[in-house]
């Protein structure tokens, strides 16, 4: 059974946010793991342009200050995206981070895009999984002496939810690694639903999609399986064959998490923020209304236990309306499955447990 530490956001004049968060970091014994001069990656999602649900720099600053006090040298980092957006290469990615307040003058630590200017700073790592054996990871994350994995716990259109494990898998992979995880997720085309808007073509970096007589057409030879088109299609013309591919996608993603952790043994801790629990991730360019109230900040050495604890807390919480949730949902029901009925996020936790990444049995300890 793994220990997961939980702060429920209660604060006071004598114990404000920054002191509470530092107390949480002391509970996972982060200070004893860091040494002077250690280059420490604070892995975080800077938020796509238009989103508001990402973890704010103000919430991250005490983490940076704690690391610096040990003499270690923190840097904030993420990897470039596979889809077309404001974070597809390092220049735009840096600017987007700055627009959202991730700036050295505010945080006291630089932003470094871990996979380089055009995602060419990558290393091939080997790990034997059921689906994959070679993994394409960001060079600067592998070169870091230590990593603090900071995640916004929220819903996700493909994986059901995203937390510490997804932040490791997708967030530490290069563009090639992201394509690798999405392989096999080429869309199923139902052009009877297509309205000819062309949004899918705009996000298709490989040029696999075209419009013929105002209906979408796909060239399977060009498709790289990135699923960006599925995320922007609002009519259902582009869909995933969930019955055969959904669980395989989750398993490939967990194998990427395992590959990352195989190079960070005893050199990584995990922090999840459960607030602004949006139904979708921080990539689409907007943030929908939250599914439940803000619940707290959790930390653990075990990412599986951490994500399981977060999932349980969200599902036990009072649903919020208006939101993407059905009106008849009650506390205890799976909110992420309700928001995205064809997803099965718990399967990722089951497979991560099978891979030896952690335990779904946990003890929740308040601070």
Residue 226: pLDDT over 80: no
SS3 state at 349: helix
Segment 95-102 mean pLDDT? 97
Which among 294, 286, 284, 156 is positioned nearest to 229, based on CA atoms? Answer: 284
Average pLDDT over residues 123-145: 96
* pLDDT score of 284: 87
Q: Among residues 21, 68, 18, which one has the least CA distance to residue 42?
A: 68
DSSP labels, 110-128: -EEETT-TTS--EEEEE--
| 3-class SS string, 68-103 | HHCCCEEEEEECCCCCCCCCCCHHHHHHHHHHCCCC
Q: The tokens 């509970």 sit on which residue?
A: 27
3-class state of residue 211 by DSSP:
strand
Per the prediction, the chain carries an average pLDDT of 94
* Token pair belonging to 277: 């629990």
Secondary structure of residue 289 in the 3-state scheme: coil
Q: What is the pLDDT of residue 3?
A: 98
**For residue 242, is pLDDT > 60?**
no
- Could you tell me the pLDDT band of residue 84, with boundaries at 50, 70 and 90? low
User: Of 20-29, 185-194, 230-239, which has the strongest mean pLDDT?
Assistant: 20-29
| Reported confidence tier of residue 223, pLDDT bands at 50, 70, 90 | confident
DSSP code, position 178: H
pLDDT digits (tens, 9 = 90+) for 179-196: 889 876 677 899 899 999
> What is the rounded CA–CA span in Å between residue 44 and residue 77?
6
pLDDT at 185: 61
**What stretches of 175-302 show up as alpha helix (H) in DSSP?**
175-182, 199-203, 228-232, 242-262
What does the pLDDT read at residue 309? 98
How far apart (Å, rounded) are the C-alpha atoms in residues 133 and 150?
26
Q: What is the mean pLDDT of residues 135-154?
A: 98
List all residues 6 or more positions away from 87 whose beta carbon is below 8 Å from its beta carbon.
46, 48, 78, 80, 81, 93, 96
Q: The pTM is what?
A: 0.88
User: What residues have CB less than 8 Å from 131, skipping those under 6 apart?
Assistant: 248, 251, 252, 255
pLDDT of the residue at 366: 95
4-30 mean pLDDT:
97
Question: What integer is the mean pLDDT of 23-38?
Answer: 98
pLDDT band at 240 (very low <50, low <70, confident <90, very high): low
Worst-scoring range by mean pLDDT, 37-46, 235-244, 279-288?
235-244
Phi first, then psi, for residue 4 (nearest 5°) are -125, 125
CA 56 vs CA 13, 49, 139, 180, 271: distances in Å: 21, 14, 26, 30, 14
Residue identified by tokens 């995933």 is 240
Residue 83: pLDDT above 90? no
Quick: pLDDT tens for 328-351: 999 999 999 999 998 999 999 999
The confidence score (pLDDT) of residue 230 equals 78
For residue 241, name the pLDDT band (cuts at 50, 70, 90): low
């Amino acid at each position: 059974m793994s220990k997961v530490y939980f702060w429920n956001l209660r604060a006071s004049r004598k114990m404000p946010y920054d002191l509470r968060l530092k107390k949480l970091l002391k509970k996972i014994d982060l200070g004893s793991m860091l040494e002077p001069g250690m280059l420490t990656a604070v892995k975080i999602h800077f938020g796509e342009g238009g989103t508001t649900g990402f973890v704010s720099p103000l919430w991250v600053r005490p983490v940076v200050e704690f690391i610096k006090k040990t003499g270690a040298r923190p840097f904030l980092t993420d990897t470039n995206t596979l889809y077309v957006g404001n974070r597809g290469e390092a220049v735009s990615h840096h600017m987007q981070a700055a627009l959202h307040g991730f700036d050295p003058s505010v945080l006291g630590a630089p932003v470094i895009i871990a996979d380089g200017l055009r995602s060419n700073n990558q290393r091939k790592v080997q790990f034997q999984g059921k689906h994959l054996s070679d993994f394409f990871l960001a060079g600067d994350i592998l070169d870091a002496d230590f990593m603090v994995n900071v995640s916004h716990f929220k819903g996700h259109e493909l994986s059901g939810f995203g937390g510490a494990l997804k932040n490791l898998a997708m967030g530490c992979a290069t563009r090639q690694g992201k394509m690798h995880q999405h392989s096999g997720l080429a869309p199923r085309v139902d052009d009877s639903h297509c309205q000819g808007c062309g949004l899918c073509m705009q996000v298709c970096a490989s040029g696999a999609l075209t419009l013929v007589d105002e209906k979408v057409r796909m060239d399977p030879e060009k498709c790289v399986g990135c699923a960006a088109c599925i995320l922007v299609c609002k009519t259902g013309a582009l869909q995933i064959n969930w019955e055969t591919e959904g669980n395989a996608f989750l398993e490939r993603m967990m194998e990427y998490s395992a590959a990352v952790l195989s190079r960070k043994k005893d050199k990584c801790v995990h922090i999840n923020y459960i607030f602004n629990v949006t139904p979708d991730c921080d990539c689409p360019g907007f943030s929908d209304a939250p599914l439940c109230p803000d619940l707290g900040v959790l930390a653990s050495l075990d990412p599986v236990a951490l994500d399981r604890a977060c999932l349980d807390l969200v599902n036990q919480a009072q649903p919020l309306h208006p939101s993407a949730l059905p009106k008849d949902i009650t506390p205890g029901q799976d909110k992420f499955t309700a928001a995205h009925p064809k997803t099965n996020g718990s399967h990722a936790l089951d497979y991560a447990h099978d891979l030896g990444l952690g335990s779904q049995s946990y003890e929740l300890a308040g601070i």
